[in-house]
A = this chain, B = another copy of it.
Amino acid sequence: MKLLPPAFRLPVAATIYDIAERANVSTATVSRVLNKPAEVSASTRSRVLEAAQELNYQPHASAQNLARQHTNYIAVVAPVVANYFYMHVMRGIQHVLADREYDLMIHVPSHPEDIDKRLKSAIQPGRSDGVLLLSTPPNESWADRIKDVGRPTILVDAYHPDIESIAVDNERGGYDATRHLIDLGYERIAHITADPEPPPATQRREGYERALREAGRDIDPTLIAASDALPFAFAEKGGYQAMQALLRRQPRPDAVFAASDMQALGALDAVQEAGLSVPEDIAIVGFDDTDLSRFAGLTTLRQPAEAMGKRATEALLRHIENENQPVSSTVLAPQLVVRRTCGAESSSVSANGQAPNKPSTASESTPPS
């Protein structure tokens, strides 16, 4: 080991070769004491450990990944980062990964065309051991690709028959939301969705329509407003614009079910800006139940985001760690959270608008694949 003055010593990390030399053993032995210490005698083990200590050794992750044929990385692709729903899903993911030796890699497309690039990256060989696709339903071509590559993959808030998935029952949520509004006596119930309409939005709309039909009402297409889905379908701005359109209808709707909380919040803004009040003039129900909704007093359908993240990650690890798990798709029931904006203000509501806990209606099913 030739010494150079500190200023000129490049910060080049020690390798197992350095340790081997210093401890007078082969690199194989070094590797063994680091990975399966039981297989090496106590005396050389301590000699090696000491050398490693002195050299401040840290294994080179890429080299390990290459040699071991796995990375201990989990890739997640999500449409956006700064969003309450994904944030909570991430918390769930992070929660189960905390005790395990996996690191999290996150891929977020910067625009819709970027999705392909991100997906490709996520399933690229040597990049991750498994991938979590949040609100990113794969088309057939991608589904094939995923199966071909054989990289364990779980869909969250999306569905495909051949890939394990976990999602909320969106149709039911849409139904429950609308039904709630009907029961409260609203007459002209509008709906806010996005265009193009992501699959979950479609299902929510279908639930909305079913509730209306079941109540013997016609579906008035002029009461369904689809806002521009870019950059993110469920964003606040879309709800704001869609609501503005709805306010121009004659007669005006007296209630709105928005496909997301962010849209609902945008709608709320638009209503108030028009000098009307919620829920007196127009009632609003959202979908998601982000923290924001609590503060805004939004009535909404709760998606158990954190739980979804947790369960998805557990499923993913199961697939990574034992081959040949059957693929299952589980659907969670969303839960109606009644707050201020629907005008159902019957029971007392706590300071922050949180409704008293309703009996849980959550249920789930894991249909055979």
Contact = CB atoms under 8 A, between A and B. Distances in A.
A114 B98 contact: yes
A107 B80 CA distance: 18
Interface in A237-274: 265, 268-269, 272-273
A103 interface: yes
A56 B87 CA distance: 34
A348 to B, nearest CB: 12
Contact of A103 (B66, B105, B269, B272): B105
A324 B333 CA distance: 55
Interface string A53-76: 000101111111110000101000
Interface in A276-328: 291-292, 295-296, 306
A87 B98 contact: no
A291 to B, nearest CB: 6
Interface in A7-29: 10-11, 13
Task: State the copy count for this chain.
Answer: 2
A120 interface: yes
Contacts of A124: 58-61
A150 interface: yes
Interface of A: 10-11, 13, 56, 58-66, 71, 73, 80-83, 87-88, 90-91, 94-95, 98-99, 103-108, 110, 114, 120-121, 124-127, 148-150, 265, 268-269, 272-273, 291-292, 295-296, 306, 350-352
B352 A269 contact: yes
B13 A125 contact: yes
Nearest to A91: B82
A121 B103 contact: yes
Contact of A148 (B56, B291, B292): B56
A148 B11 contact: yes
Contact of A99 (B98, B110, B265): B110
A100 B56 CA distance: 32
Given A62-B127, A295-B295, 16 more contacts: A11-B149, A11-B150, A13-B149, A56-B148, A58-B120, A60-B66, A60-B126, A63-B66, A64-B126, A81-B91, A103-B105, A104-B107, A106-B106, A268-B352, A292-B295, A295-B296
A303 to B, nearest CB: 14
Contacts of A149: 11, 13
A98 B81 contact: no
